[in-house]
Copies of this chain bind each other. A is one copy, B any other.
Amino acid sequence: MPEFRQNPITKEWVIIATERARRPHEFIAKEKPKAIPSYVATCPFCPGNEHMTPPESFRDGDGSGWQVRVTPNKFSALALEGTRWRHCEGLKRSAAGVGVHEVIVETPDHSLTTALMPVEQVERILRCYKQRYYAVTEDPRIELITVFKNHGASAGTSLEHPHSQLIATPIISPQVRSRMEEALRYFDEAGECIFCRLMVEELGDQKRIVAENGHFVAFVPYASLSPFTILIFPRRHMASFGQINDDEVTALAAIQREVLARLYYGLQNPDFNYNIRTAPSECRYVRYYHWYLSVIPRLTKVAGFELGTGFFVNVSLPEENAEFLRGVTLPESFQASA
């Protein structure tokens, strides 16, 4: 029989549609990942085309080269210059669309994706996220910083060259507010962080664990809203991504690359989004919230029922997803560079 499961963090309910569940192998793409060239002359993110982007805000690289590069987004959703304002008129509420919208070019190599990069490169990207997180936090207009990646057309990307983005907003969304409130409610009742508790329970169950190392745990959540969603939690309690230390950056690079490689080799390069969910700046030291990295493969479509109710239907079993991912054989080339 199908069952509802509830996400303890968001209180969202998902229907685990056991009757029409698809087995993990049914999510494998029909075709092998296509070969992508290492360099594309017209790509604004390929080396030599730096003039095609707005002036750099950060560069990791030695001499004339670069390994990771950050620029303002040419098609920014927000204006970098300008002050905060809020306007009310009847029921209408508007606010200044100011903030930061940057592109992180992850590597000079057009053909790579996280799963295929050397682990040192993934570490460079994460160090860059941290550098930008700090720099942007200094902006007094900013309340919330989100780092995310769109990989593939279904995930909303239009550019093939590996890149991620940072958007910093002068407003906290009600979705984030609601998570913070739920986490605080739990903390007030139980005296502990709900995310820390959830990690303990997942490690106890083991069934949904995908990978773990000394600093991080990756698992398919019990109430996963969609197939193969994976959360990567830091073991140490930290509300904000900015608190990550050097050892943790190294460990996060290893587990993030492994998790994305398990998806890449297991499901043949599925489209995915990942994002770092961190506390708003003003709550960066709270005991009740915990940052994490969420990876959402885009294997199914959101339809009218989800849009109209906020319920989700997951046509796969989280426990089977995790077992499948644990069993994926990674190529020797992957292991060698880890």
Minimal Cβ-Cβ distance residue in B for A200:
B90
Contact A273-B97, Cβ < 8 Å, known A1-B82, A19-B76, A77-B20: no
Complex Cα distance, B304 from A90, in Å, reads 32
CB pair A93–B148 under 8 Å, yes or no, is no
Minimal Cβ-Cβ distance residue in B for A303:
B156
Output the residue of A92, A144, A275, A305 with the most chain B CB within 10 A: A305
Report how many residues on chain A are interfacial, defined by Cβ distance under 8 Å: 75
Chain A, residues 269-313, CB within 8 Å of chain B (1/0): the string is 000011111000000000000000010100001111101111101
Give the residues from 157 to 200 in chain A that come closer than 8 angstroms, CB to CB, to chain B: 157, 165, 167, 169, 171, 173-176, 178, 194, 197-198
CB pair B19–A75 under 8 Å, yes or no, is yes
Q: Which of B75, B156, B274, B277 contacts A302 (CB 8 A)?
A: B156
Whether A112 is near chain B, meaning CB under 8 Å from some CB there, is no
CB pair B309–A15 under 8 Å, yes or no, is no
CB pair B94–A3 under 8 Å, yes or no, is yes
Whether A96 is near chain B, meaning CB under 8 Å from some CB there, is yes
Q: Is the interface of A mostly helix, strand, loop or mixed?
A: mixed
CB pair A91–B19 under 8 Å, yes or no, is no
Shortest CB distance A96–B (Å): 7
CB pair A3–B309 under 8 Å, yes or no, is no
Whether A334 is near chain B, meaning CB under 8 Å from some CB there, is no
Q: Which of B92, B178, B304 contacts A155 (CB 8 A)?
A: B304
Shortest CB distance A71–B (Å): 16
Shortest CB distance A170–B (Å): 8
Residues of chain B with a CB closer than 8 A to A178's CB? 174, 178
Given contacts A167-B305, A169-B309, 13 further A-B contacts (CB under 8 A): A1-B79, A2-B76, A3-B96, A5-B94, A6-B95, A17-B77, A19-B75, A148-B305, A150-B304, A156-B303, A173-B311, A175-B309, A176-B309
Chain A to chain B contacts (Cβ below 8 Å), 25 pairs: A2-B77, A2-B79, A4-B171, A5-B93, A5-B94, A6-B94, A8-B93, A13-B95, A13-B174, A18-B97, A19-B75, A77-B305, A90-B197, A146-B308, A146-B309, A148-B308, A150-B303, A169-B311, A173-B309, A175-B310, A273-B308, A274-B304, A276-B308, A277-B308, A296-B307
